[in-house]
Amino acid sequence: MKIVKILNKKILINVFFILFLILNLSFLIIFQKIKTLNVTKNTVKTKKITNIKENFGATEESSSKNGYDAMEIWERLSKNNHTPLEYKTGENKKTIFLTFDDGPSINTIEILEILKRYDVKATFFCIGSKLNNKFNSSLFKKEFTEGHAIGNHSYTHEYSYIYPNNSINIKSFTEEFNKADEQMKKILGKNFKTRLFRCPGGSMSRNGVSELKKHLKNNNMALIDWNVDSCDKRIKKSQKKRNKIFKKIINSSKNKDMIVLLMHDSKREKETVKILPDVIEYFKSKDFTFKILV
Examine the domain organization and report whether 80 and 142 are in the same domain.
Answer: yes
Q: Are 111 and 75 in contact (CB under 8 A)?
A: no
Examine the domain organization and report whether 38 and 159 are in the same domain.
Answer: no
Q: Are 65 and 74 in contact (CB under 8 A)?
A: no
Residue 19 sits in which domain range?
1-50
Instruction: Give 285: exposed, middle or buried? Use CB within 10 Å, 0-12, 13-18, 19+.
Output: exposed
Instruction: Give the 3-state secondary structure of residue 228.
Output: strand
Examine the domain organization and report whether 27 and 102 are in the same domain.
Answer: no
Examine the domain organization and report whether 114 and 153 are in the same domain.
Answer: yes
Examine the domain organization and report whether 38 and 136 are in the same domain.
Answer: no
Number of domains making up the chain: 2
Strand partners, 290: 96
The pLDDT tens digits along the chain (294 residues) read: 544 444 455 555 665 556 555 555 555 444 444 333 333 333 333 233 334 455 579 999 999 999 999 999 999 999 999 999 999 889 999 999 999 999 999 999 999 999 999 999 999 999 999 999 999 999 999 999 999 999 999 999 999 889 988 999 899 999 999 999 999 999 999 999 999 999 999 998 899 999 999 999 999 999 999 999 999 999 887 768 999 999 999 999 999 999 999 999 999 999 999 999 999 999 999 999 999 999
